């Protein structure tokens, strides 16, 4: 996977903080090197480091999304998080996917 170092580093840290075996890492944004998704069934969290890629302290924007099972192009955004810390992001991931 060719992604920005900020995303690759985040994925490595998430692996040590969470049990990601129940989640699928998805890349619906191949041209956005600072974005990645985690998915379980019809729940998807979009994570972006774009606004923080050149900062010393990491930060994250994320969207919690619900995908329509009958029409995968129909996505409902449940919550938007902006300028979240890594701890806040991890807590959202745990709660959203019930980990």
pLDDT value at residue 93: 97
- What does the alpha-carbon distance between residue 43 and residue 49 come to, in Å, rounded to a whole number? 20
Pairing of strands 35-40, 60-67: unpaired
Residues 91, 53: Cα–Cα separation, whole Å: 21
Whole-prediction pTM: 0.91
For residue 60, what pLDDT is reported? Answer: 97
pLDDT tens string 37-61: 999 999 999 999 999 978 888 899 9
For range 71-93, the mean pLDDT: 93
Pairing of strands 24-26, 35-40: antiparallel
Q: 82: buried, middle or exposed (CB in 10 Å: 19+, 13-18, 0-12)?
A: exposed
Residue 79: predicted pLDDT: 97
Query: At 23, is the secondary structure helix, strand, or coil?
Result: coil
Residue scoring higher pLDDT (16 or 62): 62
Model confidence at 35: pLDDT above 90: yes
Is pLDDT above 70 for 1?
Answer: no
Confidence bin at 62 (pLDDT 50/70/90) = very high
pLDDT for the residue 56? 81
């Amino acid at each position: 996977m060719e992604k920005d170092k900020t995303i690759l580093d985040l994925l490595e840290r998430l692996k040590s903080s969470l049990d990601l075996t129940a989640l699928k890492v998805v890349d619906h944004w191949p041209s956005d090197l600072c974005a990645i998704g985690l998915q379980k069934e019809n729940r998807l969290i979009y994570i972006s480091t774009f606004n923080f890629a050149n900062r010393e302290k990491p930060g994250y924007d994320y969207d919690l999304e619900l995908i329509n099972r009958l029409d995968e192009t129909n996505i409902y955004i449940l919550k938007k998080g902006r300028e979240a810390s890594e701890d806040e992001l991890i807590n959202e991931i745990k709660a959203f996917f019930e980990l």
